[in-house]
Amino acid sequence: MKILLICGVGASSGFIAQQMRRTAKAQGLEVSIVARSESELLDSVKDSDCLLIGPHLAYQEEMIRDSIAPYGVPYAFIPEEIYGAIDGAGALEVALKLINEKE
């Protein structure tokens, strides 16, 4: 299972991805969690099971939705309280819910 996180330049999502990896490992989940900048979205989304996006990019939702539509990858904006707290457990929960809803 591969989870892709996107934010402006990839720094904030990198911190959240690190916390998500720790949580996934503690839960015994085999998950690949990758953080990328928004400029790398289309190169990275193809092989992903879900996409989490930093809340500050919500103004680009229509463009993001349209650009990833051909890949059928479910997406969600990370809730601000999870993003701001760098809550890896919360972000992982959002991602797993997306993936389970897709199946």
Q: What is the CATH number of the domain that holds 36?
A: 3.40.50.2300
How many domains does the chain contain in total? Answer: 1
Average pLDDT over residues 49-60: 95
Catalytic (active site) residue 50: no
Q: Please, what sign has the CA dihedral across residues 10, 66, 95, 85?
A: positive
Catalytic position from the list 3, 5, 7, 91 = 7
Higher pLDDT, 82 or 10: 82
The partner residues of 75 in beta bridges, in order of sequence, read 51
Query: What pLDDT score does 10 carry?
Result: 62
Range of the domain at 79: 2-102
pLDDT band at 12 (very low <50, low <70, confident <90, very high): confident
* C-alpha pair distances (Å), 29 with each of 43, 62, 66, 96, 98: 25, 32, 31, 11, 16
